[in-house]
Chains A and B, each alone.
Chain A
Amino acid sequence: MKLLTHNMLSSNIKGVTNGFPLKIEAEKIIERPVEINPVFLKNMFAKLEWKPLVEASRTMGFSELPEDVPDMSVLDSDEFLQKFHHALLEIHLEEGALVCPETGRKFPVQKGIPNMMLHEDEV
């Protein structure tokens, strides 16, 4: 699971009002190179929640993203784009879990695939 995906997911258990961001419990992290696509990154930048991304990438051992929401102008900097690209698309959570911030329910991540299915009593 890439951090882009993490930034899009929340816990949708019945009754949970604040299911985002999910906490990451990492057991196995891998890095896979992905070809950089600046247009795609610029499109995605506007749609992301910045702070959760910074926090998630720190949990995954990458702390080079700026703390505060950067200005759109940084997207012209190659150096920033590289880091942003790396955090968003190249770091994978292979094994671990995503934890609902409100209930503590763990959504397992196995072979890189988060299992977001709810149990019968959570629907």
Chain B
Amino acid sequence: MWYLCVFYHRLLDYRKPEVESLAELFGAFDDDPHGQQHSLEWKLPEHHHPDSPFHFVNLPSEDIARSVANRSMLVKGLFELWGEGNSYEELEESIKGYPEERKLPYLNSDSTFRISIDTFGKVMSFTEHNERIRGLSYIPFKGRVNLKNPEHNFWIMETDDYGSHNGLPPVVQKRIFFGREVGAADRKLLPTYELKSRNYLGPTAMDAEVAFLMANQAKATHGKLVYDPFVGTGSILVAAAHFGAMTMGADIDIRVVRDGRGPDCNVWSNFKQYGLPMPISLLRADNNLPPWRPGLSEVFDAIICDPPYGVRAGGRKSGGRKLLKGVVGPYTVPDEKRTNHIPSTGAYSLAECVHDLLDLAAKMLVMDGRLVYFYPVVRDDGSSSPSFPEHPCFKLIASCEQILSFRYSRVLLTMVKIKPYTDDIAESARLKHMDFKENHLKWLEEGNLHSAVFSPADHNSSSGDDGNCGKEVKPKYRGKYV
């Protein structure tokens, strides 16, 4: 059945993949025997730009639609559309044409209801609101009005036609929708979990909204085991735990995972703060040399992480800086110093880090398990479609861009494990690992995103043009910035 899906106008790339992941979680694709279906059917209202907040989505049942909407972060509401039109006359026509047997169950005399108005790209006064609602008198509402806690929520949603002046694509046509709300997102979650009230934070703690989006992409739910190999202050696992998943985390920095900032300000306290179950385990381990026993495989249902990609925080791996550069030879730690010895770490290039992550995920994820992680993309190199890491065990099902600055953006990648981890794959991963180890410096330079992001901008290309031309190049439409 088709539903009107209205989104919050933010993180545009993340909106459809979130609905599709949640639809899969709530059983929309259970009929698919091979489990290969990950996407839904979508339609746009006529003349609407793909970035429009209004979409139509085909979901198998109202129960699934409700569950999807209630758990999502970006769905403002899913609606059973009773009518639509470019004017209120057209809307009336359309609502009257909607089958009576679909409408009457929600209009009977022992029910309570409320009609609300929402607008996009325009402002409406209170008087206009009342006029619009009174204008619906042709619908035979028999129930009582209840503004606080109605059984049925009806919505009038109106968009205006507008030009290019407000930064939105100029193709939207005035459209009015009327529908019955099936479910809506619980954004109240966000003030509860927002970072500014969290006890223990690090410089790269994941924003609560994005952490919830990641947990949704990973289909985190009751009884599932979710692992974060770069756990830091646990901000991603908090979101997964909120949805009932069991969590596990590792980090190379022992001060972050073990000590925090005191007895009530550490990773554990972040879970206690929200009354969530504690992670099953936290450990200090190097993602480059993971301590999992040989033979252990397919234990995690999802791996969610924000790998250190060297812009705000650089990755570290075992082996001293000088050791990795080959300036000093391997040395032996004297026996009397072994107990409290702090092993040195060296820089960890993004390429190597992502290789290790994919190899770990290929081995440790269950079949159909998901790997969800951020991958940085340098934006000013002119290429329009960035290439993302690939792995024979995985299928990329979603890539959602979030622009961070003029120079780079991060893309949330969602990959599904479609093939088992074989000896051949293990062997080629081992050879690659050796290559990284032997050519440490080369990889470090190639994967150095920091210099690409922070080096002075290259103005040579526009020299010779006057200032006005340079200005014109900047696109007016900034959809992905919201």
Q: Which chain A residues have a beta carbon within 8 Å of chain B's beta carbons?
A: 1-2, 4-5, 7-12, 19-21, 32, 34-35, 37, 39-40, 43-44, 47, 49, 89, 106, 108, 110-121, 123
Contact = CB atoms under 8 A, between A and B. Distances in A.
A111 B318 CA distance: 22
B258 A20 contact: no
A117 B252 contact: yes
A116 B285 contact: yes
Shortest Cβ-Cβ A-B pairs, 8 listed: A10-B293, A5-B281, A116-B291, A39-B223, A20-B293, A116-B285, A40-B223, A115-B284
Q: How large is the interface on B (under 10, 10 to 19, 20 to 34, 35 or more residues)?
A: 35 or more
Contacts, number: 108
A77 to B, nearest CB: 19
A12 B344 contact: no
B2 to A, nearest CB: 34
A8 B333 contact: no
Contact of A10 (B257, B277, B292, B330): B292
Nearest to A112: B282
10 contacts: A4-B280, A9-B293, A37-B246, A112-B282, A113-B257, A114-B284, A117-B254, A117-B318, A120-B319, A123-B319
Contacts of A2: 280-281
Contacts of A40: 223-225, 246
Interface of B: 222-225, 246, 248, 252, 254, 257-259, 277-278, 280-286, 289-296, 298-299, 318-320, 323, 330-333, 338-339, 341, 343-344
A116 B254 CA distance: 10
Contacts of A21: 293
B344 A120 contact: yes
Given A32-B278, A40-B246, 15 more contacts: A8-B293, A9-B291, A9-B293, A10-B292, A11-B291, A37-B222, A37-B246, A39-B223, A44-B225, A49-B295, A112-B282, A113-B282, A114-B284, A115-B258, A121-B333
Nearest to A12: B291
A123 B318 contact: yes
Contacts of B320: 120
A4 B281 CA distance: 9
Given A110-B258, A123-B319, A117 B286 contact: yes
